[in-house]
Structure formats: structure tokens, C-alpha cells
Amino acid sequence: MRDLVIGVIALVLGVWGLSSDWIVFREFTGAIFYSALFAWGLVSTLSGLKDPADAPAVTEIRKRDVTLDILRGFAVASMISGNAAAYALVHPHPLALRFYDSVAAPFFVMLSGMMVVRTSRSGKHTGSYYLTRGAVIMGAGAFVDMAIWQNVPFMTVDILYLIGLSLPLAYAYQKMSAPVRWTAVVVIFAAAAALRAGLGYTDFPTEISLLGARVPVADFPTSVLNHWLVDGYFPVFPWLGLSFVGVNLGLIRWARKKAVTFATRKTFLAGFGALSLGVLWGILWPPEMYVRDIYTEVFYPMTIAYGFEISGLLVVLLAFVDATTGLRIYEPFRVLGESALAIYVLHLAVIRWVVAALWPSSSFGVYVLVYAGFVAVMTLVAVGLRHLKSNWPDRPMVFKMLLAG
């Protein structure tokens, strides 16, 4: 494990050095140093991983996939930053922070696709379960719109609407043959690019206040149907494609009765290859990366290049975390990941009624302190929810869904 951890640290430092504004091959010595660090990190990482026959088993506790909980928790931490920074950090935001904040939504969507495979493999759930679960999640999205933001629901296509819609579709999608499944992903991403070109891509989705309050108006507004199709915050095209990528990863992980570990050299290299392809694509053909109102994630719009990047990153992290699930540093992420939906709703309420109302936009240093405290509080809440769930095993199905990861 030590070689793997040291290798990944060296790999990250190498990538950071090579991509920093002050290095970019302007200094020959620096370029050589960071290239060597990158190469050493890659070799050390691969030496720390195993061949499939020797790879560690997937860790499960209380019938939960620990790796998925950890990565979902990491996505929660990224989500808190992305939404809090919109109000608590002066604009423009550092590019590195924008990329960090952009991990959350794609990870949530892909992990939800993986979980459809996992839960359906048990044989306990049919398509009606995923219709119900999807409706509950969309209902939570409507609650957020109406109770927290006090806007008309179902207009901007928030993340919960997309996930709720995707669950029954993902359940049906997993039954297709592999060539059809991957072709569908390609078609969805290609259609998204075509739809953006044909229908347009608004500055930010239209909102209507339930209280008649004034709301920002886009310079180039489009219809609500357009928001659902292609230019809402998380439109069907291409975000449904990421859900389907998650389903395909789930079918790999649960191809047999016991979960298949991703902690192998082959899996890591596949993920690293997809990540590298996406990065190279983005360098050769830089995407727009719009700032939409006050939100600065880099996936506005979601492009094919970023689809490769984020899918590859998830596979790389699945391999790394599968190999290192024993690290105690993961525990806060694991706790957050066990109650992601509840934390999502609660953190938005805190942002709406505390951060946005009381906290002025601050410098980056002050923001980091605010963010660390925010994550710590949400982690304590998640610990409380863990105890609540353990002491309330026979809770109604709706509460099981709302308190799920």
C-alpha cells in the first residue's frame, strides 16, 4: 500500500507541476523534474497495484460497498465547496478550485448508475422500485426548489431531477447488450453537441420566484423544454450518458456474485488512459467552460472531452480506493457518503439561509476556513444520521430512500 500511496502523490505532483502556469515547459529544468516525478509516480502506482488474481477483495460493511461510500463522500465534499463558493468566495474563482468543485455532480450521476446495478442484482427490486425511487428523488428536488430557493420547480433541471429520471432508465438500460449500451452513450454525447448547436445554449436556466421576487434574466433565454433537453444545469443530453457510463462500470464490478475489485493495473491504466485522452482533447480543442450566473463548475456545458476526463478519474479513484480502503483518512468521506441525499438538501438550506444571507464574499484564504468548518459540521450531522439509521432499521421505505447514500 505504501508504494501505491507514494506513487499517487508523486503522480499528482507531477501533473500539477506540468500543468501549472509557471511551468508549462517555460523552464527546461522544471519540465524535466516534473516529467521525471510524473513517470516515477506512474511506475510506483502500477507496482503498488496487483494482478487480478492477487488483488484485494472489495470491502463491504453492513452490506454497503465501502469504496462507493468513500467516493460518494468525496463528491459530497466537492459539492459543498461548489455551492458554498458561489456565495462565499469572491469571483473569479481559481481554475483548480473550479475543477475540484466539478467532481461532485458527475460522480453522483455515475455512482447512482452503478448502484442501480448493485441493488438490482439482489433480485429484491423490479422496475417499479426504481420508478418509485426516482419519483422520491425528483420530489426532493422539487422540495429544494420550492422550500429552499422559493422558485417554481422542474424548471432549471437540478441534479436531483436528472438522477430521479435516470434511475428507471438505467434499470432498463442494463439489460441491453454491451455493444448497444456503449453505442447509446456515444449517441447521447454526440446528440448533445448537435442539440446545443441547433437549439442554443442559454447563459443560465430561467427561474420564476414563487414569491414574485426579482430573479436574474439570461441574455439569451430559452424554454424550459430546452433546459430539460440540453441547457439546464443538468440536462438529459448528455448527462444521461454519464448515468449509463456508471451502469457499465457497475456491470463490470458486479459481473459475478461477489463484487469485482478495480484495484488492478489493467483497470487503473484503462481509467488513466480515458483521463489522459480527455485532458489532451481539452488542450487541443479548449471547451467554453461558462460561468452560469454565480456557478463556476467547468462542465457548463458538459463536453465529450470532460466526459472522458471525469469517467477516467472515477475509474482511477475506484482502483486506488479499492486498494487502500483501510486508510483511516477515508472515514469522514465514508460517513458523508452514507447519507448523501440528506446532506445535499441540508447543505443547500445552510447556504441559502446562513451563507448567502449572512456571509459576505471573502478572499480565498478565509473561504478555505469557512469551507473546512462547513464540511466538519456536515460530517457531524452525517454521524448522527448513521446512528439514527442503525437505531431505526424498520423505517418506512420513503425514509430509507431519503436517508440513503
Per residue in 24-47, pLDDT (tens digit) is: 445 555 556 656 655 655 666 666
Which residues face 89 on adjacent strands? Answer: 362
The verdict on 173 and 135 lying in the same domain is yes
Q: What radius of gyration, in Å, describes the C-alpha atoms of the chain?
A: 21
Q: How are beta strands 64-65 and 60-61 bridged, if at all?
A: antiparallel
- 367's grid cell: 473561504
Same domain flag for 88 and 13: no
| Res. 50: pLDDT tops 70 | no
Cell of residue 98, nine digits: 473550479
- The number of domains in the chain is 2
Condensed to tens digits (0 to 9), the pLDDT of residues 110-169 reads: 999 999 999 998 777 889 999 999 999 999 999 999 999 999 999 999 999 999 999 999
- 10 and 97 assigned to the same domain: no
How confident is the model over 243-269, as a mean pLDDT?
91
- Same-domain status, 62 and 43: no
Query: What is the residue range of 190's domain?
Result: 49-402
Could you tell me if 243 and 96 lie in one domain?
yes
Residue 241: the pLDDT is 98
Spatial separation of the C-alpha atoms in residues 368 and 366, rounded to whole Å: 5
Full-model pTM: 0.90
DSSP, collapsed to helix, strand or coil, labels residue 274 as: helix
Domain match, 365 and 387 both: yes
Best CA proximity match to 164, nearest among 228, 230, 111, 109: 109
% of the chain at pLDDT higher than 90: 64
Note whether 28 and 73 are same-domain residues.
no
- 288 and 235, same structural domain? yes
At 13, list the grid cell: 505532483
Contact 136, 163 (CB under 8 A): no
State whether 214 and 289 are in the same domain: yes
Q: Are residues 37 and 59 in the same domain?
A: no
Tell me which of 47 and 236 has the higher pLDDT: 236
DSSP lists the bridge partners of residue 50 as: 264
182 and 280 part of one domain:
yes
| CA distance linking residue 184 with residue 206, whole number of Å | 29
Helix 178-199 crosses helix 236-253 at what angle (to 10 degrees)? 160
Do 116 and 216 lie in one domain? The reply is: yes
